[in-house]
Chain A
Amino acid sequence: MTAARQDSDDYDLTQQAGQKAFARHLVQQRRRRALWHGLQIALVWAIMFAVMGIGLSLLNVDFAYVLENTNFVLLGLGFTIGISLASILIASAIALVGALMRLSSNAIAQGLSGFYVSLFRGTPLLIQIYIIYLGLPQIGQQLTALGYPQIGGLFVLTAIQAGILALSLNYGAYMTEIFRAGIQSVAQGQWQAAQALGMKRFQTLRLVILPQAVRIIIPAIGNQFIAMQKDSSLVSIVGIWEVTYRASRFARKDSKFMEMFLLAAAIYWVLTILSEWIQGRLEARMAESEKRS
């Protein structure tokens, strides 16, 4: 502030031209400061990378081996991204329904949703994957034995289906809370105003509440998606050849554990950075309505 006041001495602010020039000067100054700030951050990153590089060089890692087998591990990226995308979509749908049930005044809906959230947030994802993969088919076989082979057959999930179901149910539980918070963040007055206009409850929800809640929910979903990309590595236990499976099993071949784990870590990191960038764009878009034009 003081700097700006001193700078203003160089301009004749009694003239329009001088005012404009000073305005330009202020804009340029702000740009310069932003650029310098950005450069400083970049410098910190560069130093951190250098420190990491020193650490890695002490690890005795065969980088030629890493490069040689990058393609093999990258082939698992399709499963990692595909499973994460499918799961986040299903989880979002579950979370919307779960949140609405949680916020309803009906005891059955509240009970069901509360039980679901408690169960799936209260148990480890790894164990959920085991139980869904191993347990559901046993129920299916009982149903088949009872004479319902069509229903029983539905319970025998392939490895990919079991993985997606487990990830969806687990993340759906956490995201139910996110959706609930998002819906509750819309002021109570909006409900009352919509009611005063003669809107039904469902109409209010669809046309008034959800469009506002979405601004809060979307960035949070992005965050969950980024977390899920890494948690999807847990489905490697049912034998899906995604990034972690390929890296960990290939490591056994030549006992190159550190090489393969570092490679997998790097792949996930790059994937996350890309996702963060997309999330940032999405958030900027969501904030558009908040901007003064």
Chain B
Amino acid sequence: MRALLKLTVLVWMLMLVAGCAAPVAAPAAPAGDAAPAAGSDAAAPADLLADIQARGVLRISTDPAYPPQSELVADAQRPADTKCSGEERTASELTGFDIDVAAAIAAALGVEPCFVTPDWTLITGGSWAGRWDLSVGSMTITPERMTKLYFAQPYYTTPAAFFVHEANTTLAAPADLSGKKVGACAGCTYEFYLDGSLQIPGETIEFVVTDTEFTGYDTDTSALQDLALGDGVRLDGVLTALPTGAGFIANGNPLKQLGEPVYFEYLAPAIDKASPLDTTSFRAAVDAAVQALHADGTLKQLAEQYYGVDLANAAAAFDIAGLEQ
């Protein structure tokens, strides 16, 4: 009986270990690959940038659920000479604005981009355990995310702009909407702008529109549809993302943009704060790469290609050094 019990416990332990190093039917990355290569000198973690350049691969997370930022390619061919593992995806298997930007950053570092596709919550939560190096996922810089992630130089922005009905002639600038009926999606940054509580890291916001009669909607589109019913019928104006409003107008709805964007949300590459390797030089390299892509016009051109508008412009001026992180 004792022998049986001992055997049982032993097999049990073996199972757990076997489970950890599970043999996999499909091609899989070796488990040791993701483990820190720190060796015995645990006090000084190895440099992430040096690690990336040594393996010749930059691992980037993306969730291909959000066209045109990131989407799947139907009949993709994997290049035969790729260094990406079986669990990773090559740049040819995905397409979109984020994917092009990620590939351009990898090119600047002189390595091949390989993509992993975990759920969005797993990306924004941090603690990536060295499974991937960088997120290029149109992620807005927020104070909450800054507790888990480092942000690099933003590569584009989502401008927030007011829209009014085409027939309106009395409103000339966003400030004229103060005290009027304004709609936006509930719980979004737009609502916080209208109630004067919005804070965006690295940006000083001027609240030019105050004391509105606010209506919250489940989505931006519902608010725009209510505005399209007629000038002042249900709403006098809507605050939403510039591309959202522009797209709604492009679909033939009688709206127009009111003045310049009132603030920008900055979308930036992110790096894990809890990385097992030292990220200092890697962060500097990503900042430099994005700044160079701004300077040579690549990002402006890509933004115009995917969104029809230059959304990169304001991101180039963002002071990443001034962002306390």
Closest Cβ of chain B: how far from A101's Cβ, in Å? Answer: 6
A47-55, A210-218, A235-243 - interface stretch: A235-243
Q: Are A250 and B67 in contact (CB under 8 A)?
A: no
A32-40, A145-153, A178-186 - interface stretch: A145-153
Q: Are A90 and B12 in contact (CB under 8 A)?
A: no
Q: Are A246 and B72 in contact (CB under 8 A)?
A: yes
Instruction: Check B74 for interface membership: any CB of A closer than 8 A.
Output: yes
Closest Cβ of chain A: how far from B129's Cβ, in Å? Answer: 3
Q: Are A137 and B129 in contact (CB under 8 A)?
A: yes
Q: Which of B3, B12, B31 contacts A97 (CB 8 A)?
A: B12
Closest Cβ of chain A: how far from B139's Cβ, in Å? Answer: 16
A residues near B67, Cβ cutoff 8 Å: 252-253
Q: Are A97 and B35 in contact (CB under 8 A)?
A: no
B residues near A205, Cβ cutoff 8 Å: 4
| Chain A residue at smallest Cβ distance from B93 | A241
Q: Are B31 and A168 in contact (CB under 8 A)?
A: no
For chain B, residues 25 to 75, give those with C-beta under 8 angstroms from any C-beta of chain A: 25-26, 28-29, 31-32, 34-36, 38-40, 42, 64-67, 71-72, 74-75
Closest Cβ of chain B: how far from A13's Cβ, in Å? Answer: 61
Instruction: Check B322 for interface membership: any CB of A closer than 8 A.
Output: no
A161 and B4 in contact, given A72-B75, A90-B18, A152-B35 (Cβ under 8 angstroms) = no
A/B interface sample: 17 pairs, CB < 8 A: A79-B26, A82-B26, A101-B12, A134-B122, A154-B17, A154-B20, A154-B31, A155-B20, A156-B31, A156-B131, A160-B22, A160-B26, A164-B22, A164-B24, A165-B20, A245-B117, A252-B66
Closest Cβ of chain B: how far from A80's Cβ, in Å? Answer: 10
Q: Top 4 A-B pairs ranked by shortest CB distance? A: A82-B25, A137-B129, A153-B35, A239-B117
Besides the known contacts A159-B116, A249-B117, 5 further A-B residue pairs in the complex with CB atoms under 8 A apart: A72-B72, A93-B11, A134-B127, A140-B35, A249-B65
Q: How far is the CA of A16 from the CA of B24 in the complex (A)?
A: 64
Q: Are B64 and A252 in contact (CB under 8 A)?
A: yes
Q: Are A86 and B22 in contact (CB under 8 A)?
A: yes
Q: Are B87 and A138 in contact (CB under 8 A)?
A: no
Closest Cβ of chain B: how far from A155's Cβ, in Å? Answer: 7
Q: Which residues of A does B touch, CB under 8 Å?
A: 68-69, 71-72, 78-79, 81-83, 85-86, 90, 93-94, 97-98, 100-101, 104-106, 109, 112, 130, 133-134, 137-138, 140-141, 144-145, 147, 149, 152-161, 164-165, 168-169, 201-202, 205, 237-241, 245-246, 248-250, 252-253
Q: How far is the CA of A156 from the CA of B26 in the complex (A)?
A: 18
Q: Which of A97, A130, A238 contacts B15 (CB 8 A)?
A: A97
Q: Which of B9, B15, B34 contacts A109 (CB 8 A)?
A: B9
Q: Are A160 and B28 in contact (CB under 8 A)?
A: yes
Q: Are B31 and A202 in contact (CB under 8 A)?
A: no
Q: Which residues of B does A touch, CB under 8 Å?
A: 1, 3-5, 7-9, 11-12, 15, 17-26, 28-29, 31-32, 34-36, 38-40, 42, 64-67, 71-72, 74-75, 87, 89, 116-119, 122, 125, 127, 129-131, 274, 276
Q: How far is the CA of A141 from the CA of B75 in the complex (A)?
A: 39
B residues near A145, Cβ cutoff 8 Å: 42
B residues near A98, Cβ cutoff 8 Å: 12
Q: How far is the CA of A248 from the CA of B23 in the complex (A)?
A: 27
Closest Cβ of chain A: how far from B275's Cβ, in Å? Answer: 10
Q: Are B23 and A86 in contact (CB under 8 A)?
A: yes
B residues near A248, Cβ cutoff 8 Å: 65
| Chain A residue at smallest Cβ distance from B35 | A153
Q: How far is the CA of A90 from the CA of B23 in the complex (A)?
A: 10
A residues near B18, Cβ cutoff 8 Å: 90
Q: Are A90 and B15 in contact (CB under 8 A)?
A: yes
Q: How far is the CA of A157 from the CA of B130 in the complex (A)?
A: 11
B residues near A109, Cβ cutoff 8 Å: 5, 8-9
- Which of B22, B28, B31 has the most chain A CB atoms closer than 10 A to its own CB? B22
Q: Are B74 and A72 in contact (CB under 8 A)?
A: yes
Q: How far is the CA of A83 from the CA of B4 in the complex (A)?
A: 31
A residues near B25, Cβ cutoff 8 Å: 78, 81-83, 85-86
Q: Which of B23, B39, B74, B274 contacts A250 (CB 8 A)?
A: B74
Q: Are B118 and A239 in contact (CB under 8 A)?
A: yes
Q: Are A101 and B74 in contact (CB under 8 A)?
A: no
A159 and B19 in contact, given A83-B25, A153-B31, A237-B122 (Cβ under 8 angstroms) = no
Q: Are B118 and A159 in contact (CB under 8 A)?
A: yes
| Chain A residue at smallest Cβ distance from B89 | A241
Q: Which of A86, A241, A246, A252 contacts B24 (CB 8 A)?
A: A86
Q: Which of B15, B28, B72, B87 contacts A253 (CB 8 A)?
A: B72
